[in-house]
Structure 1
Amino acid sequence: MSPEKMVMMANQIAAFFDTQAGDPAPRIAAHLRDYWEPRMRGQLVDFVRAGGEGLTPSALAAARLL
């Protein structure tokens, strides 16, 4: 998957959980674990290690929990 699409998808998921009370990062991470295949999660983790540019703060925090 292209990095742009991956960032867009992660940010969309984060936007949903950002509307709920409390820290969204653990819920975003749980969603990614439940619904993203291992290759997608690995790509996201690698992207974050390279800087994670474009990810929202909550999406970035969630990716760091993976």
Structure 2
Amino acid sequence: MSPDKMRYQANQIATFFASQPEDEQVEGVADHINKFWDPRMRAKLFEMADESTEGFKPTLVAALQKINRPGQFGSVG
């Protein structure tokens, strides 16, 4: 998947959860990505975010702290 498409897809998830109560938005984004994105997609997301979070919605940037980073000790998947 191209970086632009991945950024778009991740931001779409953040946009969806923007309709939820504020205290549930970040958790919802992280939970969705943890459940439905395979480890390769999450690894690419972190590769992009580690380089720059420019273009990512703030909710997505906040959710990165709760998304399981593939290969990280103690993470699942």
TM-score (norm 2): 0.79
Query: What is the CA deviation profile of residues 7-46 of structure 1, one whole-angstrom value per residue up to 9, with x for unaligned ones?
Result: 0000001001011112311110010010011100111111
RMSD across aligned C-alpha pairs, in angstroms?
A: 1.0
Q: Which runs of 5+ in 2 are unaligned?
A: 68-77
Q: Which runs of 5+ in 1 are unaligned?
A: none
Higher CA-based Rg = 2
Q: State the percentage of identical aligned residues.
A: 41
Q: Compare 55-64 and 5-14 and name the one that shifted more.
A: 55-64
The answer to which structure has the higher helix fraction is: 1
By relative contact order (CA 8 Å, sep 6+), the higher-ranking structure is 1
Q: Using the TM superposition, give the Cα deviation of residue 60 of structure 1 relative to its aligned residue in structure 2, in angstroms.
A: 1.3
Count of aligned positions: 66
TM-score (norm 1): 0.90
